Amino acid sequence: MTYRPADFATPETVFKAFEGVNLIGGARRATQATLAVTNPATGAEIGRAAASDGAETAQAVATARAAQRDWAATPARARGKQVGAAARAVTAQAELIAQVLARETGKAIRTECRGEVAVAADILEFYAGLGSELKGQTIPFDPRMLTMTTREPLGVVAAILPWNVPLVLFALKVGPALVAGNSVVVKASEEAPFATFLLAELMSRHLPAGVLNVVNGTGADCGDALTRDPGVAKITFTGSEAVGETINRIGAERIIPVSLELGGKSPMIVCADADLDRAVAGAVSGMRFTRQGQSCTAASRIFVHDDLIDAFTERLGAALDALRIGDPLDEATDVGTIINARQRATIDRYVALAEATPGATVTRHGTLPDAAHLAPDLYMQPVLLRGLPDDHPCVMEEIFGPVAVLRGWSDRDEVIALANATHYGLAATVWTRSLSVALDSTSRLEAGYVQVNQNLTIQPNVSYGGFGRSGQGKEASLEAMVEHFTRSKTIVLNFD
Instruction: Tell which residue, 375, 288, 383, 289, has the closest CA to residue 327.
Output: 375
CB nearer ligand NAD, residue 156 or residue 165: 165
266 neighbors 425 (Cβ within 8 angstroms): no
- 107 classed as catalytic: no
475 is catalytic: yes
- C-beta closer to ligand NAD: residue 196 or 432: 196
**Closest residue to bound ligand NAD by CB:** 219
CB 80, min distance to ligand NAD, A: 24
| Residue 216 to residue 9: CA distance in whole angstroms | 23
DSSP designation for 324:
B
Q: How far is the CB of 234 from ligand NAD (least distance, A)?
A: 14
Tell me which of 113, 271, 296, 394 is the catalytic residue: 296
Neighbouring residues of 111: CB distance < 8 A, sequence distance ≥ 6: 290, 333, 334, 335
Looking at the Cβ atoms of 218 and 453, the one nearer to ligand NAD is 218
Smaller CB separation from ligand NAD, 25 or 448: 448
Catalytic, out of 104, 107, 173, 474: 173
Q: 39 or 472, CB closer to ligand NAD?
A: 472
Q: Which phi-psi region, left, alpha or beta, contains residue 468 (left: φ > 0; alpha: ψ -120 to 50)?
A: left
- How far is C-alpha 339 from the geometric centre of its chain's CA atoms? 15
Min CB(275)–ligand NAD separation in Å: 28
Q: Assess whether 173 carries a catalytic annotation.
A: yes
> What is the DSSP track for 133-198?
G----EE-S-TTEEEEEEEEE-SEEEEE--SSSHHHHHHHHHHHHHHTT-EEEEE--TTS-HHHHH
Distance CA(303)–CA(337), nearest Å, equals 27
CB atoms under 10 Å from CB of 132, counted, come to: 11
Give the closest residue to 153 by CA, choosing from 82, 77, 233, 94. Answer: 233
Closest distance between ligand NAD and the C-beta of residue 471, in Å? 6
For residues 369 and 327, what is the distance between their CA atoms, to the nearest angstrom?
8
Point out the catalytic residue in the list 104, 201, 475, 483: 475
In the complex, the residues that contact ligand NAD under the rule CB under 6 A are 160-165, 187, 189-190, 218-220, 223-224, 227, 238-240, 243, 246-247, 261-263, 296, 398, 400, 426, 466, 471
Strand ranges inside 229-340, DSSP E:
232-238, 258-261, 267-270, 301-305
Q: How far is the CB of 77 from ligand NAD (least distance, A)?
A: 29
Q: Select 125 or 398, whichever has its Cβ closest to ligand NAD.
A: 398
Q: Whose Cβ is closer to ligand NAD: residue 225's or residue 415's?
A: 225
Catalytically annotated residue among 261, 271, 394, 398: 261
Nearest distance, CB of residue 264 and ligand NAD, angstroms: 6
Q: How far is the CB of 389 from ligand NAD (least distance, A)?
A: 23
**DSSP result, 344-402:** HHHHHHHHHHHHTSTT-EEEE-SB----TTS-GGG----EEEES--TT-HHHHS---SS
Catalytic (active-site) positions: 173, 261, 296, 475
